[in-house]
Amino acid sequence: MVLLFASPDDDPVAWTRALRRRLPELEIRVYPDLGDPEAIEAALVWSPPPGLLAALPRLRVILSLGAGVDRLLEDPTLPPEVPICRMVDPSLTRSMAEFVLLHVLRYHRFLDVYEEQQRRAQWRLLLPRPPEATVVGIMGLGELGTAAANLLRGHGFSVKGWSRTRKTLEGVKTYAGRDELDAFLADLSILVCLLPLTPETRGILDRGLFARLPEGARLVNLARGGHLVEEDLLEALESGRLAHATLDVFAREPLPADHPFWRHPKITVTPHAAAYSLPESGAEVVAENLRRLRAGRPLLHLVDRARGY
């Protein structure tokens, strides 16, 4: 079988090595060296150039290197019949949960305030609170949201979760659908967005949502730039409705150098760094799906195109 690897952010050498170890007979081609497109049956991709996948006439499966497939689905030339699999991989899940814990701890222990004070050489202690006093709300309770919620709960934080359909999670107060969104938001210290980007969730982090958070809440968006209405965030930071925001994802990536987020004193910008599939563990997931494809067995982590994830 021939697999095409195409990603601007992942290391083709490490992925090739990790895949070969599991599937020695697999032929791996690295974009842009396609060779004969007719031979390619599988594509392992992150942000492939629009039209690339449509140019592979015998493609049988699209394997995403990322957990979210919104950018794939936005490509109007995407072959409509080819199944798409999300990346669900323990290293990716672990690195996301870890990044959530880091940013929750950072706000819980007032590092954003201390950084601001440092700029003014101001020494002022804010008494630490116990973690139970910090209420963290996770939007999105899939693979990643569930792992993050469990890690936070283990650390002692008060955790709430919101999702499209009802989920049950031990020790986490869960809310479902637009009807319960207000109750979910009402007492959050920190809101963490881990939603898939779909037509339903696009622009969900907007003025109306911010108005339902307590004054001085913090926002952490690790999902997609499309979830956030940028002007509404700037307004909420200006008014004090939100005290600070950490953004890892943006409508345009890389974030343009002249974008106001870079220089905003109440915004921390990270370069889409929250979660990442390490080749050593991600290759196992990919290899398993290729084995299944070859054997005609059902694929894992199939995307429902209508739902968007």
**Counting contacts by CB under 8 A, is residue 263 touching its own copies?**
yes
Residue 224 annotated to the active site: yes
Both tokens assigned to 176: 């479902």
In the bound state with its own copies, the residue whose beta carbon lies nearer, of 170 and 258, is: 258
Q: Which of 71, 106, 224, 244 is catalytic?
A: 224
In the bound state with its own copies, the residue whose beta carbon lies nearer, of 124 and 199, is: 124
How far the first Cα of the chain sits from its last, in Å, is 27
**Counting contacts by CB under 8 A, is residue 81 touching its own copies?**
no
Q: Which of 29, 71, 272, 301 is catalytic?
A: 272
- H or E stretch at 139: strand 135-139
Residue 272 annotated to the active site: yes
> Contact 267/261 with Cβ under 8 angstroms?
yes
Residues numbered 215 to 254 that lie near its own copies (CB under 8 A) are 253-254
In single-letter form, the type of residue at position 255 comes to L
Bridge-partner residues for 159, per DSSP? 136
> Contact 212/238 with Cβ under 8 angstroms?
no
**Counting contacts by CB under 8 A, is residue 123 touching its own copies?**
yes
Report, in Å, the least distance between residue 262 CB and its own copies: 4
In single-letter form, the type of residue at position 294 comes to R
Near its own copies by CB under 8 A: residue from 118, 183, 187, 307 = 118
Report, in Å, the least distance between residue 143 CB and its own copies: 17
Is the bond preceding 80 in cis, omega lying within 30 degrees of 0? no
Q: Report d(CA 99, CA 68) in Å as an integer.
A: 17
In the bound state with its own copies, the residue whose beta carbon lies nearer, of 42 and 275, is: 275
> Contact 45/63 with Cβ under 8 angstroms?
yes
Quickly tell me which residue has 């968006």 as its tokens: 221
Residues numbered 277 to 296 that lie near its own copies (CB under 8 A) are 278
Catalog residues that contact its own copies under the rule CB under 8 A: 9, 11, 91, 94-95, 98-99, 101-102, 105-106, 109-111, 114-115, 117-118, 121-128, 130-131, 155, 253-255, 257-259, 262-263, 268-273, 275-276, 278
Residues noted as catalytic: 224, 272
